[in-house]
Amino acid sequence: MNTPVRIIIHGASGRMGQALLRLAGERPEIQVVAAVSRKVAARVVDGVPQFASSELGGVPEFDAAIDFSLPEAFDAVLATCRSRRAALVSGTTGLSASQQEELHAAATEIPVLWSANFSLGVAVLSDLVERAAAALSGWDCDIVESHHVHKKDAPSGTALALGASAERGGAAPRYASLRAGDIVGEHLVQFASLGERIELVHRATNRDIFARGALHAASRLAGRAPGEYRLRDLLG
Ligand code: NAD
């Protein structure tokens, strides 16, 4: 068997971090060498060494980091990947314009993949939205996203990415955000004209879809040449 890809999970104590840790355990091609969270309660959990964010510089050697944290934690994980010459897969949303620029700059040194959404369904929806927008010139385009009450950024990163697809098709999307209960993530893209309406909807009912996509991407990204990769480059 090939040597497993050594991964650190940044944001490990969070909703996504916990899904990543659970699903990584089912993949022999991945070895989680560190779980990094803002605070840690124990040094080792289920065989995985735990590190507080203040200890990020001391994590063992790794091939790729998977980051699902918060924008305020992003700079540190990016800097660590650069200094260790390791790949970065990030799904953290709400990054500032300067953080996005830093990510582009880092791509000259390490392989990076940032995606607002790691599900296959949203990748297909994005394509459909661009095609619908191109075919429905002059129609109103509205994107309504719903998430759990703990989500901080609005509109969601996925809504903005779908909006970019609509713009590529020539539409001028408007956004609305709902925060309610424990909704994992819903995105409705509506095209409306006089007397008719088209609705394209994606509903995520389980975070595992994002975690599986990110684990797959990390195992494929490690060891690649520096550059900015897209999810679709690593599928298959
Ligand atoms: P969460 O609040 O449950 O978890 C956040 C994690 O970040 C925790 O482990 C916390 O300890 C850690 N953290 C916070 N501040 C930190 C710091 N200063 N240093 C180090 N770690 C720190 O959030 P979540 O629901 O797991 O979502 C995490 C991120 O992933 C959000 O930005 C969310 O929008 C995004 N997300 C993306 C996708 C996708 O497919 N791209 C899917 C779901 C969620």
Measured distance CA(147)–CA(210) in Å, rounded: 15
pLDDT at 236: 58
Extract the tokens encoding 59.
Answer: 């994590």
Task: Give residue 189's Cα distance to chain centre.
Answer: 20
- Residues making up the annotated binding site for (S)-2,3,4,5-tetrahydrodipicolinate are 148, 157-158
pLDDT at 1: 58
pLDDT at 96: 97
Cα(73) to centroid of ligand 1, in Å?
A: 9
pLDDT at 217: 95
Extract the tokens encoding 55.
Answer: 């200890």
Measured distance CA(212)–CA(1) in Å, rounded: 21
Give the type of residue at 5: V
Give the type of residue at 195: G
Extract the tokens encoding 176.
Answer: 């609305």
| CA angle (4, 10, 119) in 5-degree steps | 75
Residues of the chain with pLDDT under 70: 1, 236
In the block, tokens 């609509």 appear at: 166
Give the type of residue at 120: L
Atom of ligand 1 nearest to the CA of 214: 40
Cα(16) to centroid of ligand 1, in Å?
A: 7
pLDDT at 172: 98
Residues designated as active site: 147, 151
The predicted-structure confidence for 11-36, as pLDDT tens digits, reads as follows 999 999 999 999 999 999 999 999 99
pLDDT at 232: 79
> Going from the N-terminus, what domains does the chain have, and what CATH number goes with each?
5-114+208-234 (3.40.50.720), 120-204 (3.30.360.10)
Partners of 179 in beta bridges: 147
Cα(13) to centroid of ligand 1, in Å?
A: 9
